[in-house]
Structure 1
């Protein structure tokens, strides 16, 4: 009987932890569709995931925290635009990310750009809401900045 409870507890825990994982889109067109369907802006995370110290620090101090997960679920569609040095990417993904880096004028990492977008006649029009990067002070400090961009009337 104890085995049954332990197994049941294990599966409940496994499903709960999976439910808490955030969905980071890498295909911008898919993210735009979700953004427009849910009426949430996109959080576009421009990162060098395998070499950028500040990007890794932002991930560990903010983006992987419970506070961020709750906030992100309620407020944004997450998009990761990665520029790794050691991790292979498909040519299509590299091309998409390079085009977006140029379109948004991203010159340093990490940069987080908040935007909404619409697609008309095969062309994407972005409406910038604001941008940020690493903010010292952990999730509370970072979320204060992000809320000021995403929910300016509530700040």
Structure 2
């Protein structure tokens, strides 16, 4: 029994160490970006209905290649707009995401990636592109200059 428990805990911890550290609060993201001298990558997505959003997650955000590159450079901020009932956000989180969209995604594009400095100033934006995680990383970093 103890061995099974150990395996379950170890597997859970292993999964956690490889997952992208997504933020969902803008103020927290700005503070982290300021403290850690990083830029914010704000991702507007429809995680359960938007095919290009799902592709961007699978082909870029979820890859170990991108995670390794991004960990020292970006604060990843997610503004999700799911449609399925079982994925519904809290009213507070939905309102927070709506405010972000009013400011940074007025046209309602999905996926839409906005690169921000630690004060929330927009440096650039992009969407889904069928490129490697390294190329996508380089595009994001290019907005810093």
User: Who is 2:93 aligned against?
Assistant: 93
User: Who is 2:117 aligned against?
Assistant: 116
Matches of 1:127 and 1:141, distance apart in 2: 23
- What's the RMSD between the two structures over aligned residues? 2.2
Answer 1 or 2: which has greater strand percent: 1
User: Who is 1:32 aligned against?
Assistant: 30
Matches of 1:36 and 1:115, distance apart in 2: 11
1 or 2 for the larger relative contact order (CA 8 Å, sep ≥6)?
2
Residue among 123, 130, 136 paired with 1:129: 123
Matches of 2:137 and 2:63, distance apart in 1: 11
User: Who is 1:123 aligned against?
Assistant: none
Q: What is the count of residue pairs matched by the alignment?
A: 139
Q: Stretches of 4+ moved more than 4 A in 1?
A: 7-17
- Give the alignment's TM-score, normalised by structure 2: 0.84
User: Who is 1:77 aligned against?
Assistant: 75
User: Who is 2:141 aligned against?
Assistant: 147
User: Who is 2:108 aligned against?
Assistant: 107
Matches of 1:138 and 1:54, distance apart in 2: 15
User: Who is 1:122 aligned against?
Assistant: none
Matches of 1:27 and 1:146, distance apart in 2: 20
Gaps of 5+ in 1: 119-125
Return the index of the structure with the highest Cα Rg: 1
Deviation at 1:91, TM superposition (A): 1.1
Matches of 2:77 and 2:107, distance apart in 1: 15
Gaps of 5+ in 2: none
